[in-house]
Structure 1
């Protein structure tokens, strides 16, 4: 079972948060540590510091939470834009220091997250996210024939480049829901990434998926650093399809119908 342990760091003075899972997939924690270090190297949004990593645990500096506020939200929005602007070598690449596929989802039940190297975003999304999750949903008996047809159509449109816009690959957190955004006295600090090279709108859509305090302030400050392409709000559902579908696989229930709604609403 997953566990966390408060304690002191190697020198006895740094509070430690230990993420642990006996029997974790090989490299699971090394991949997360590489993602945290890659994001931190961007010099943008604050990222929790890695103290130690082993096959069955990851030790991080323990964070102290404070209430969200608008000033911190605006600082975070500007910093996140700088993180994205630090870029990646290609769409789909894993973080520096990790050579292969990653994982997406909760500590006790992460799903494999395919890596790759693509010059454009659409084929990456089709082959590394949409096709694998569509197959998994179908194998689990969670799709209808109409859903399967809609997934096939979406994959074809993505391969055709219908949503490609020339934006360079961004350095993404990759699982940026509000639970991985920690408000501290030093500013917003990011935890638990599924880091990869992708489209900047994906992280922003994740922030909106389960709600984030002061999201409008975050987005406003983000756009002061890097204005978003016209129509980005209409593409939020497309960027949310993969995480919602993963929730449908893991938890079923209302996430299945939410996946269906997002899927059938996807239009170029």
Structure 2
């Protein structure tokens, strides 16, 4: 394989475009760190790829991940609708439980993917509470997050079976190609489908209204899903506080207060 373009870095990993000996273009992510990080990403991509378009995993080792190159195109309304329907089908593919049989990561941060009996307990014990210490919140704010976590079972809405979710579905992890969206950089696990949709809304996605409309035609959402968006945004906002600092504290605490008001 020959590396052709330096694409910079992300979370301590070097990014390159390359060409295989057979002429195929590839995306290469490399760097040392947690030995299981690339294997986890590869496992998630293969699992999601059973139901939706993702890059092909060509190589996954302790210090390098090689994926097929995705040729991008501008998003459009029709592509957004196709993506919404595909995302609904992905979620409906389901999972064996809440969690995953591989170690979890979001950016470079490890996540516990051990199974839990239900989604509220999984979300509290595996996705929210473990990140509190690293967030460095003042004691009063940390206490409010813990109070919100104690309420998850009350405010989570109707119980749903585990969905097959991306787990870190912000707009930068959706590449537009082939007339739809292609998923990259997953933190894949069995979770709640509203989590992926709330993450798409957190930082904005082109034609999000078309995505959501097509999704709901394919698989309607439970009543009250819009009011639960802050609940599902708690985890990614808390992760952003850990990774990027106090600039995200205001958004996090706004979401916490909205959960406590449900």
TM-score by length of 2: 0.91
The answer to whether residue 211 in structure 2 is matched with residue 221 in structure 1 is: no
SS at match of 1:234: coil
Query: For the Cα contact (< 8 Å) 1:176–1:206, is it kept in 2?
Result: yes
Moved more, 78-87 or 255-264: 255-264
Partner of 1:30: 39
Which residue of the other structure, out of 143, 149, 157, is the alignment partner of 1:155? 149
Q: CA deviation at 1:115?
A: 1.0
Task: Report the Cα distance in structure 2 between the residues aligned to 1:211 and 1:156, rounded to whole angstroms.
Answer: 29
Aligned equivalents of 1:248 and 1:188: distance in 2? 28
Partner of 1:87: 94
Match of 1:74 in 2: 81
8 Å Cα contact 2:128-2:238 kept in structure 1: no
- CA change 1:136–1:253 in 2 (3 A) is closer
Matches of 1:186 and 1:59, distance apart in 2: 24
Match of 2:257 among 245, 252, 264: 264
How far apart are 1:149 and its partner, in Å?
A: 2.2
Q: Deviations over 1:24-66 (max 9, x none)?
A: 201110110000000011x2x3111111111101101111111
For 1:84 and 1:154, how far apart are their aligned partners in 2? Answer: 26
Query: Given the alignment, which residue of 97, 101, 106 partners 1:104?
Result: 106
**2:78–2:179: 8 Å Cα contact kept in structure 1?**
no
- Post-superposition Cα deviations, 1:156-214, rounded to whole Å, max 9, x if no partner, equal 222x4542522100001001000010011353111000001100000000101110000
Equivalent pairs counted in the alignment come to 250
CA RMSD of aligned residues (A): 1.5
Q: 1:92-136: CA deviations, max 9, x gaps?
A: 224xxx3xx31112xxxx111111212311100110011111232
Residues in 1 aligned to 2:256 and 2:47: alpha-carbon distance in whole angstroms: 31
CA distance in 2, matches of 1:231, 1:5: 43
Q: Secondary structure at the match of 1:266?
A: helix
TM-score (normalised: structure 1): 0.89
Structure 2 unaligned residues grouped into runs of 5+: 1-11
Q: Please say if residues 46 and 189 of structure 1, whose CA atoms lie closer than 8 Å, have aligned partners that are also in contact.
A: yes
Distance 1:58 1:200 in 2: 27
Partner residue in 2 for 1:119: 117
Q: Distance in 1 between matches of 2:226 and 2:176?
A: 25
- Please say if residues 88 and 215 of structure 2, whose CA atoms lie closer than 8 Å, have aligned partners that are also in contact: yes
Counterpart-to-counterpart distance in 2, 1:263 and 1:113: 21
Q: Which structure 1 segments of 5+ residues have no match? A: none
Structure 1: distance between partners of 2:180 and 2:142: 43
Corresponding residue for 2:230?
237
Aligned partner of 1:189 in structure 2 is 182
